[in-house]
Amino acid sequence: EVQLVQSGAEVRNPGESLKISCKGSGYSFTTYWIGWVRQMPGKGLEWMGIIYPGDSDTRYSPSFQGQVTISADKSINTAYLQWISLKASDTAMYYCARPRCSAGSCQYIDFWGQGTLVTVSS
Partner 1 sequence: DIVMTQSPLSLPVSPGEPASIYCRSSQSLLHSNGYNYLSWYLQKPGKSPQLLIYFNSNRASGVTDRFSGSGSGTDFTLKISRVEAEDVGVYYCMQGLQSPYTFGQGTKLEIK
Taking the C-alpha atoms of residue 79 and residue 20, their distance in angstroms, rounded to an integer, is 8
Considering only residues 89 through 118, tell me which ones interact with partner 1, judged by CB under 8 A. Answer: 95, 99-100, 105-115
| In the complex, least distance from residue 45 CB atom to partner 1, rounded to whole angstroms | 4
- On whether the CB atoms of residues 84 and 90 are closer than 8 A, the answer is no
Q: How far apart are CA 98 and CA 2, in angstroms?
A: 10
Q: Is the dihedral of CA 52, 62, 96, 91 positive or negative?
A: positive
Interface pattern 44-63 for partner 1 (x via CB under 8 A)? xxxx-----------x-xxx
- Please tell me whether residue 33 binds partner 1 under the rule CB under 8 A: no
Q: Which residues bind partner 1 (CB under 8 A)?
A: 37, 44-47, 59, 61-63, 95, 99-100, 105-115
